[in-house]
Structure 1
Amino acid sequence: MRPQSLFPLFAPLTALPGVGPRVGPLLEKLAGEHAVDLCWHLPTGIVDRRHAPHIADAEPGRIVTLTVTVERHLPGASRRHPYRVRCADDTGFLHLVFFHARRDYLEKLLPVGAERIVSGRVERFNAEIQMVHPDHVAAPDDLDAIQAVEPVYPLTAGVMPKVLRRAIRAALDRAPELPEWLDPAYQARQGWPAWKPALESAHAPADEADLAPSSPARARLAYDELLANQLALALVRRRQRRLSGRPIAPEGMLRAKAEAALPFALTGSQQTAGAEIRKDLASGDRMMRLLQGDVGSGKTVVALMAMLDAVEAGAQAALMAPTEILARQHFATISRLAAPAGVEVQLLTGREKGASRTGILEAIADGRARIVVGTHALFQDDVVFADLALAVVDEQHRFGVEQRVSLAAKGQRTHILVMTATPIPRTLTLTAYGDMDVSLLTEKPAGRKPVDTRVLPASRLEDVRAGVARALDRGTKVYWVCPLVEESEQSDLAAAEERHAELKAAFGPRVGLVHGRMKGRDKDAVMAAFAGGDIDLLVATTVIEVGVDVPAATVMVIEHAERFGLAQLHQLRGRIGRGSDASTCILLYTPPLGETARARLEVMRDTEDGFRIAEEDLRLRGAGEILGTRQSGMPTFRLADLAHHAELLAAARDDVNLILERDPDLSSPRGAALRTLLYLFERDAAVRYARSG
């Protein structure tokens, strides 16, 4: 149960004064559904109203706070004309300008002869000083309230800054004093305030320095969030460890048969990762391992060897992929590699219907299907395994942790292997996969040549098209990728369709098109024709980013490369260079390039090392977008910024290890405070694991 002290913070937003049924949904979209979500919605800028000159000294373009006397009202000739109010001090006069104003309201707000405090941006118009729609108008005794530094918050359409500030203030007023969960020595060393003063201070910046991630209040709150994340992961990990696994330690005959039939030798890191996995499977503890390898580093082969061990031990293995294209690709690869070992592989996606689906479900339920490859369809209720011993999850960041757990729940004491081809910086690995051991594949299979990456302006499009024509004449296959434009699938599709029509006019029927809004069956048909049929030039949106394997494709053109994230560019480029022929990737950009876009393209030109690219991506864009888009499986931090707070993450991890060593049940006073922290950051499941030991 959430502690009672936190109840006020977890009240719905509509419980806050001034947040009614109209504003409530807008604020919820902006920040979240509870009062606490507004507490985490920190300012990104400030408006300083402390500058209080005389009218004659007010600089145009600057925000000022003036003390004036109202001289007269000058209504416009009609509602469409501005309404002016002339005000003065000892040094001169200015006009306050209002559009669509109500006269009775303004006469009450600014009575003639009264002294008023006005604050806003001044500007010069027809050689006169004016202030259009002042931000504040108040009586002189309110000077201190107005003449202050005002926080500026990220907004959403329909929410006025004043309304948001009032709602945040109401949420902060609900924040209780909470027991301290930080280690006292560490807190003193960092010079951090207690939790509630830190929260208040983060929402009341006095200058630009207070907005920096390293300011004491913000660093403290970021550490709290990272500590909750690391503690929750450690508790989940400990629970998984305590749920005993099933020892899987066959002689390895099936594995040996499959390996003998491979047309290549396993790399050193594939052999090391395989040995780490076999050790986990044989230990009697449940395996929770992340297999992280760059595009084309051979993760599927490593996973297959583990699955064959599970099969040889008399059990079943399943591989879950995030898309149907990828599931079918894995099915084709694994079926081919498992054939020499005589193992039957089944495919289950949402497309299988009727008698075909029933037959597959029966084969899974009676154990004939030894290895099952599928999409989300695998963890539907009617999928029952005879004896699932190993669950492999590909591109884990496309799934939530819950989905990983629900697939494992299809078996008894199921081992879990998670694979990702998205290189993840170490800091993100700790926050997303801190409950797992990590195996890295750092080499590319023998015979793979580096990809020659060139960065060209869009004005060279004709040269690029001529180069594509020469490549097609040589018999190579070519990808032509069109970008996502302004987050709209519509325009994404329009750009691809337009380019497809143009290239088809030039090169004829050998040009195909694939995009995310096509039906699965149509998409697969085009991909199959590109892989081994009459399509040689494939115009595509980013639907081809993950997992498509066409070794004959050696050229890729990416239009508007400046619009893509680094990780996405790296994933796309990974579709070529998969055979033994030299490959070329052309990144076309439209000038002028911003600083970040230029840096991204330079990194792509200079290196193919996915881990270096991932670290650069983190530095350039921050953790929120590190995987191209915000993905469900990655934690999204509200207060911590991993590009700035990596050291705090390492400290939080060390702190958690020490806490659980000294107080494994969180029963000490600090342990009880840490339980409150877990509830505060909605890591409720982890509290249950702490209780159950």
Structure 2
Amino acid sequence: MSGRPDILFPLFAELTGLDGVGPKSAKNFAQMGVETPRDLLFTLPHSGIDRRRQATIRDVTPGDVATVEVVVGQHRPASGRGRPYRVTVQDAETGFQLVFFHARGDYLQKQLPTGQRRVVSGKIELFDGIAQMVHPDHILPPDQAAAIPEFEPVYPLTAGITLRTITRAATDAVSRAPDLAEWADPALVLREGWPDWRAALHQAHAPTSLADLTPTAPARQRLAYDELFAHQLTLALARAAARRGAAIVTEGDGRLRRKVLESLPYKPTGAQVRAVEEIAADMAQPRRMNRLLQGDVGAGKTLVAFQALLIAVESGGQGVMMAPTEILARQHLESLQPLAEEAGVVLELLTGRDKGKERQAKLAALAAGDIQILVGTHAVFQKDVVFRDLRLAIIDEQHRFGVAQRLELSAKGHGAHVLVMTATPIPRSLSLAQYGDMDVSVLDEKPPGRKPIQTALVSTGRMDEVVDHLRKAIAEGRQAYWVCPLVEESEVLDMTAAEERFKRLRAALGDDAVGLVHGQMPPADKDAAMARFVAGGTKVLVATTVIEVGVNVPNATIMVIERAETFGLAQLHQLRGRVGRGEAASTCLLMYQSPLTEGGRRRLEVLRETEDGFRIAEVDLEMRGAGDVIGTAQSGLPRFRIADLERQAALMAVAQKDARRLLLDDPDLSGPRGKAARVLLWLMEQDKAIRLISVG
């Protein structure tokens, strides 16, 4: 797999070789992320202008484009600085004006001689009740008017790039697209009636109507598919590489798992049982497990994770569970400790705070195999941490780790199986885009005994009532979270808002009753404030969103979210999931500032109607788009140029199946379709995938 195939060279040349692109416009194109002819091929028109000939502008809606044949009337040159030059014209039924600013009169006399016929095309506007066309896009004699396209594609533009520039350059780029061998499954292409890659590019860049611009147009579907297929092929190669890693066959005899289940006051849900079975089957294989455990807030991931760790211990090995923060690592320790005692296994915590002798002692116990299950932050991956026989690594809160970190982790594991957990329900199309290299287990049932959370919308004008409500609840011995609004992405302002609210609530509820945590506090202070709240010392915890993930205080039954309309749906759902963890009925008050935007209202209403995280995630995707739902920057979610994950979600699943099947039939991509797929990977700049093939 030496380097980029020759056939693709013209697409990766300098932009300046394209029609009408000089060094200056090449710089402007770079602002749009367009640096090669290939990038331009994948920059599709997003709308179009209908320039079919009409007899008159009489029925044209102002703001729309019209193309009509006119007789040129009199010229009225500009009457002063900044005033326009006007030319009166008459179409088949009505008169209007052509308007030009900073125009040269002699040039316009030549272009529009009085008494002659011309075809003009441009946007119709009303000014003082008179129809006018300012700076027509086209002015041509009738015998040359065929040069005006009936339907003109409109591309996304940036400063310094005109529609004319990008259209000329794109047309030239499309003419250079080589004829490439087919990488898609021929049966699929036939079934969907798709054109081949090159024909699809030609069609997508030369739409003949608005229908050609929709995500369902065959040419667009085809190109989107190619992009998704290249991405899924990369993930499938990563999956194959992870599975090539030999793992120790790990089968438990079930004795420890039975002890834990017998000690529980309830039966696990069907989803929990199924997930444990899937994990056990993976761990019994001689190749590495690479599985994602996806569960909604409160679906009982902890029990599944612990059962998986026990499989490792039953077979004589060790397990590790890793959390993104120290608070969460401590919480895992607290929730797992009672289960570990029932099973009779040794569980320890290792974080960045362990120093000196204490740390040495833990490391020695780990290397000797005396610690069977380790819980920690990413400190567990430091060089001096050595396991005697690590069989399973569990990572909590996946979206802090991309595909690259997953590969790195499995390299460290010396054959350990990997299970990743996330509490963020993700719609299927996105979960495939982000976790296509993994097998997925979903926990979609709530354990028995979880009470529904009452969710109410309250306007900020009723703040005093909310504070009274809290006062009564505290008197009954209950606890509450009060989440402060997000202020314009600034942690300093977030902190100020939180400190203000803290002062006002202390004044209302008493100094000892209220605690505070925010992102700017030193970690030790944050932990201390959390610990006081967990122990029941403070009754109300004022917080910025640092409590979003994982905090578990069964006695906390009230969640107040101030200016809830400024939060995303997924975030609100996560925050609400912090209550409803104990025996008592819980409430979540979403405080909003009116007037609400349409989107803000819809978000809050969806939360009021449902607690189903997957349903909420689907709505979130419809409302915000894919990049925002996962937060593209930190998610490792690819940026697709053509594929639209909201409207073409079904294509993602097809692409995944197709990619996995191709690799099954042709693992080193050496057959005819495999070779075509290699060219696709180069075309789509999937360098990671190309490295995976060359290594393999």
Q: TM-score range by the shorter chain?
A: 0.7 to 0.9
Q: Structure 1 residues 35 and 603 mapped into 2: Cα distance closer, same or farther (>3 Å)?
A: same
Q: More deviation in 141-150 or 478-487?
A: 141-150
Instruction: Encode CA deviations 1:275-304: one digit per residue, 9 max, x unaligned.
Output: 332332233232122212211222123223
Q: Structure 1 residues 380 and 110 mapped into 2: Cα distance closer, same or farther (>3 Å)?
A: farther
* Pick aligned residue for 1:444 from 426, 435, 446: 446
> Is the counterpart of residue 212 in structure 1 residue 207 in structure 2?
no
- Deviation, 1:584, is 0.7
Matched residue SS, 2:350: strand
Q: Letter of the aligned partner of 1:405 in structure 2?
A: L
Q: More deviation in 64-73 or 300-309?
A: 64-73
Q: Structure 1 residues 460 and 353 mapped into 2: Cα distance closer, same or farther (>3 Å)?
A: same
Paired with 1:502 and 1:26, the residues of 2 have a C-alpha distance of 52
Paired with 1:197 and 1:445, the residues of 2 have a C-alpha distance of 53
* Pick aligned residue for 1:404 from 403, 406, 410: 406
Identity level (%): 53
1:89 alignment counterpart: 89
Q: Is the 8 A contact 1:322 1:399 kept in 2?
A: no
* Pick aligned residue for 2:41 from 39, 42, 59: 39
Normalising by structure 1, report the TM-score. 0.84
Q: Is the 8 A contact 2:480 2:557 kept in 1?
A: yes
* Structure 1 unaligned regions, length at least 5: none
Q: Is the 8 A contact 2:324 2:397 kept in 1?
A: yes
> Is the counterpart of residue 177 in structure 1 residue 182 in structure 2?
no
Matched residue SS, 1:578: coil
> Is the counterpart of residue 582 in structure 1 residue 599 in structure 2?
no
Instruction: Encode CA deviations 1:340-389: one digit per residue, 9 max, x unaligned.
Output: 6352423334x778898788777767766654444455556676655543
Q: Is the 8 A contact 1:199 1:221 kept in 2?
A: yes
2:561 alignment counterpart: 558
- Deviation, 1:676, is 1.9
Q: Structure 1 residues 260 and 512 mapped into 2: Cα distance closer, same or farther (>3 Å)?
A: same
Matched residue SS, 2:123: strand
Matched residue SS, 2:84: strand
Instruction: Encode CA deviations 1:377-423: one digit per residue, 9 max, x unaligned.
Output: 55566766555432212222232111111112112112110111112
Paired with 1:154 and 1:506, the residues of 2 have a C-alpha distance of 54
- Deviation, 1:139, is 8.5
Q: How does 1:104-115 map to 2 (within 5 A)?
A: 106=104, 110=108, 114=112
Matched residue SS, 1:198: helix
- Deviation, 1:551, is 1.6
Instruction: Encode CA deviations 1:133-155: one digit per residue, 9 max, x unaligned.
Output: 55567888874555543334445
Matched residue SS, 1:409: helix
Instruction: Encode CA deviations 1:504-542: one digit per residue, 9 max, x unaligned.
Output: 443343334433444433433332233225432233333
Instruction: Encode CA deviations 1:625-681: one digit per residue, 9 max, x unaligned.
Output: 444666524444433334433443343344445544544443332222122223333
Paired with 1:30 and 1:468, the residues of 2 have a C-alpha distance of 51
Q: Letter of the aligned partner of 1:212 in structure 2?
A: T
Q: Is the 8 A contact 2:242 2:407 kept in 1?
A: no
1:322 alignment counterpart: 324
Q: Letter of the aligned partner of 1:472 in structure 2?
A: I
Matched residue SS, 2:505: helix
Q: How does 1:279-678 map to 2 (within 5 A)?
A: 279-311=281-313, 313=315, 315-334=317-336, 337-338=339-340, 341-349=344-352, 370-379=372-381, 387-484=389-486, 495-509=497-511, 510-591=513-594, 597-627=600-630, 631-656=634-659, 658-678=661-681
Q: Is the 8 A contact 2:429 2:650 kept in 1?
A: no
Q: Structure 1 residues 123 and 428 mapped into 2: Cα distance closer, same or farther (>3 Å)?
A: closer
Q: Is the 8 A contact 1:49 1:64 kept in 2?
A: yes
> Is the counterpart of residue 681 in structure 1 residue 645 in structure 2?
no
Q: More deviation in 337-346 or 157-166?
A: 157-166
Normalising by structure 2, report the TM-score. 0.84
Paired with 1:529 and 1:142, the residues of 2 have a C-alpha distance of 82
Instruction: Encode CA deviations 1:215-259: one digit per residue, 9 max, x unaligned.
Output: 111111222223333333333333433432102234456656666
* Structure 2 unaligned regions, length at least 5: none
1:230 alignment counterpart: 232
Paired with 1:485 and 1:144, the residues of 2 have a C-alpha distance of 56
Q: Letter of the aligned partner of 2:84 in structure 1?
A: R
Paired with 1:642 and 1:617, the residues of 2 have a C-alpha distance of 13
Q: Is the 8 A contact 1:222 1:641 kept in 2?
A: yes
Q: Is the 8 A contact 1:348 1:372 kept in 2?
A: no
Q: More deviation in 400-409 or 360-369?
A: 360-369
Instruction: Encode CA deviations 1:192-218: one digit per residue, 9 max, x unaligned.
Output: 112122123223333222222111111
Q: Structure 1 residues 137 and 383 mapped into 2: Cα distance closer, same or farther (>3 Å)?
A: farther
- Deviation, 1:578, is 1.0
Q: Is the 8 A contact 2:487 2:493 kept in 1?
A: yes
Q: Letter of the aligned partner of 1:447 in structure 2?
A: G
Q: More deviation in 683-692 or 609-618?
A: 683-692
Paired with 2:335 and 2:225, the residues of 1 have a C-alpha distance of 44
Matched residue SS, 2:287: coil
Paired with 1:26 and 1:533, the residues of 2 have a C-alpha distance of 59
Matched residue SS, 1:319: strand
Paired with 1:573 and 1:139, the residues of 2 have a C-alpha distance of 67
Q: Is the 8 A contact 1:327 1:373 kept in 2?
A: yes
Matched residue SS, 2:582: coil
Q: Structure 1 residues 587 and 628 mapped into 2: Cα distance closer, same or farther (>3 Å)?
A: farther
Q: More deviation in 199-208 or 163-172?
A: 163-172
Q: Structure 1 residues 180 and 93 mapped into 2: Cα distance closer, same or farther (>3 Å)?
A: same
Q: Letter of the aligned partner of 1:399 in structure 2?
A: F
Q: More deviation in 578-587 or 552-561?
A: 552-561
Paired with 2:106 and 2:364, the residues of 1 have a C-alpha distance of 79
Q: Letter of the aligned partner of 2:402 in structure 1?
A: G
Q: Is the 8 A contact 2:57 2:66 kept in 1?
A: no
Q: Is the 8 A contact 1:16 1:171 kept in 2?
A: yes
Q: Is the 8 A contact 1:97 1:130 kept in 2?
A: no
